[in-house]
Amino acid sequence: MKKVLLTRSKDDIERDRKLFEKEGFEVIALPLIQDVPLDFDVPEGPFDFVLFQSQKAVKYFFAKCSLTGKEKILAVGEKTKAEVEKHGYNVWAVPTKFYAEEVAKLLQGYGGRVLIPRSSAGREEAIESLRKLGFEVVPLDVYETKLLDYPPEEFEAKVRPSDFLVFASPSAVKGFFANLQKLRDKSLLKDKKVVCIGKTTKGEWEKTFGTPCETPEKPTMEDILRLLKKLA
């Protein structure tokens, strides 16, 4: 049985575990990140657009805020869309690709104010792209992602037997690197297949480790599973 190391937050891993186990993989859980809600001020509207780039951004924003219902909501990915709809709002558009340039394409020809609830470590590409189009962009940090630290023995004991290492965010890659640095034996990655969920995470891995990683057709855990089945 092939072993898959999952490195997301603890809750995410437990949700994904059944997906992989159902297809015959053994899951090794190594949460490398933890999401923590931030205390933030409710932004003053009105806004013409609201951009949600993750389910977590939706969750932490609506825990404290509401919208008028007049805003056009963009949700990156079907799961983010479903999370928005759980709170009773309609989604205006879902980018066909999960990148900043696709969001900019959708908003080409529009104008106004855009609210972006996000992680405090959120990337700037979407903000910069929309500002170049003339939008007033208001980023709002609603949660932060903390890197988790492990005793070297525990970290090594989970990584060494794994056949596949799966990363779903640049933060998880950073957490992995920080823990790896504490080991004397850096050959832990030999013969491991590394899978990164999308191009941003792939970029972080290749910049940090100088080695390639595989990416699925779409940045979803379901597509990662399909890729693992092929690689296995």
Domain boundary (145, 178, 212) is at: 145
Looking at residue 156, what is its pLDDT?
Answer: 96
Looking at residue 81, what is its pLDDT?
Answer: 94
**Alpha-carbon dihedral of residues 76, 230, 205, 99, nearest 10 degrees?**
-20
Looking at residue 56, what is its pLDDT?
Answer: 93
Looking at residue 99, what is its pLDDT?
Answer: 67
Looking at residue 123, what is its pLDDT?
Answer: 78
Looking at residue 33, what is its pLDDT?
Answer: 96
Residues 122 and 156 both lie in one domain: no
Residues 109 and 174 both lie in one domain: no
| 38 in any annotated domain | no
Domain count, the chain: 2
Looking at residue 96, what is its pLDDT?
Answer: 67
> Which regions in the chain score pLDDT beneath 70?
96-99
- For residues 25 and 13, the answer to whether their CB atoms sit within 8 Å is no
Q: Structure pTM?
A: 0.84
Q: Helix, strand, or coil here: 232?
A: coil
Residues 84 and 127 both lie in one domain: yes
Domain boundary (95, 121, 145) is at: 145
